[in-house]
Amino acid sequence: MRLVACVKQVPDSEARVTPRPDRPVIDERDISFVLNPYDEYAVEEAVRIKEAKGESDVAVLCVGPPRSEEALRRCLAAGADRALRVWDDHLGDVDGAVVARLLALALERVGFDLVLCGRLAIDDAAGEVGGRVAELLGVAHATAVSALSVEGDRIIAEREVDSGLEVIELPLPSVITAQKGLNEPRYPAIPAIMKARRLPIQQLTVQELGVEPGALGDLSRRKVVTLDAVETERRRRRIEGEPDAVARDLALLLRDDARAL
């Protein structure tokens, strides 16, 4: 079975992010980058399926700048067999529409039975790429999957719906996006990490995927105009005293000061 996980490298959630003064992107200096947490579930699931089924191959694919290689090596250490990175210096602040297009082209080139993505990336929280890729590839998809099993040429997935969890059957090939709880990602052992450092990461240019760098802008559908720190000033009003008094004061403040009732 050909399993492909699509991953992204993102700033650590603890990172102090500040917008650059000249462009609506963050200042990347001194930022710690990690593999997107939701992608960890995707990679782990792909590796588990390979381990359970045998005769399978796990590839990890990333559209990202050179620093993304660290995240790809993490995937290799966690059991992926090979890693590919697509990039072009014209990509800049990547639009999900462009990323999805490049991923779909790379996936067609690499070959796949099951594509696994994270349900969203914690930097832009767009949750866009998995669904777009499925449509571009013309295959079924399921979003926010928290349980998955492979049954021959179909998969059974539990996915998040507004009223709870839906059990859905999809034919292969298909795309799923991983939700927290799909599995417990393993911590790669040191030998695996060391070995991953020496594995090659295949680089793919957009030209090799059939896209002219100058045409990338035409594939974009939205543009970030401004990026600002969030201004919400909280009152930080302390309420002190015995529980009875505190409860009474808080209730009154919620009614009269905050008008929240």
Partner 1 sequence: MDGVFVIIERLDDEPRRVTVEMLAQARQLAHELGASLTAVIAGPAGPRLAARLGELGAPSVLHLSHESLRAYSAQGYTWALAEALGERRPRAVLLAHSALARDLAPRLAARMDAAFVSDCTGWHVSDGALRLTRGVYGGKLQACVQVGQMHPAVVTFRPNALGVVPTPAAAAEVEHSPLAPPTGTVTTVVRGLVARSEGELGIQEARVIVAGGRGLGGPDGFDVLRPLADVLGGAIGASRTAVDSGWIGVDHQVGQTGKAVSPSLYIACGISGAVQHFAGMSSSKVIVAINKDPDAPIFERADYCVVGDLFEVVPRLTEELRSMLDTA
For the segment 78-137, give every residue that binds partner 1 (CB under 8 A): 96-97, 100, 119, 122-132, 134-136
Least Å from the CB of residue 183 to partner 1: 13
Q: Which of 57, 113, 146, 195 binds partner 1 (CB under 8 A)?
A: 146
CA angle 201, 204, 208 (to 5 degrees): 155
Least Å from the CB of residue 222 to partner 1: 4
d(CA 93, CA 109): 25
Beta carbon nearer to partner 1, 194 or 258:
258
Binding range to partner 1, per CB under 8 A, among 47-55, 77-85, 160-168, 206-214:
160-168
Beta carbon nearer to partner 1, 77 or 155:
155
By three-state DSSP, how is residue 27 classified? coil
Please report which helix (H) or strand (E) contains residue 246, including its range.
Answer: helix 243-252
Least Å from the CB of residue 239 to partner 1: 5
Least Å from the CB of residue 148 to partner 1: 13
Q: Which of 29, 197, 198, 238 binds partner 1 (CB under 8 A)?
A: 238
Do residues 98 and 220 lie in contact, with contact meaning Cβ atoms separated by under 8 Å? yes
Helix ranges, 37-182 (H): 37-53, 69-77, 96-110, 129-137
Helix axis angle for 69-77 and 190-198, nearest 10°, is 130
Beta carbon nearer to partner 1, 50 or 101:
101
Number of residues binding to partner 1, judged by CB under 8 A = 82
Q: What are phi and psi of 60, to 5 degrees?
A: -115, 140
Nearest to 141 by CA among 100, 98, 83: 100
Least Å from the CB of residue 15 to partner 1: 8
Beta carbon nearer to partner 1, 32 or 163:
163
Q: According to CB under 8 A, which residues from 36 to 55 bind partner 1?
A: 37-38
Query: What is the torsional sign of CA 206, 209, 211, 212?
Result: positive
AA identity, residue 46: A
Q: According to CB under 8 A, which residues from 166 to 185 bind partner 1?
A: 166-171, 180-181
Please report which helix (H) or strand (E) contains residue 176, including its range.
Answer: strand 174-178
Regarding 190 and contact with partner 1 (CB under 8 A), the answer is: no
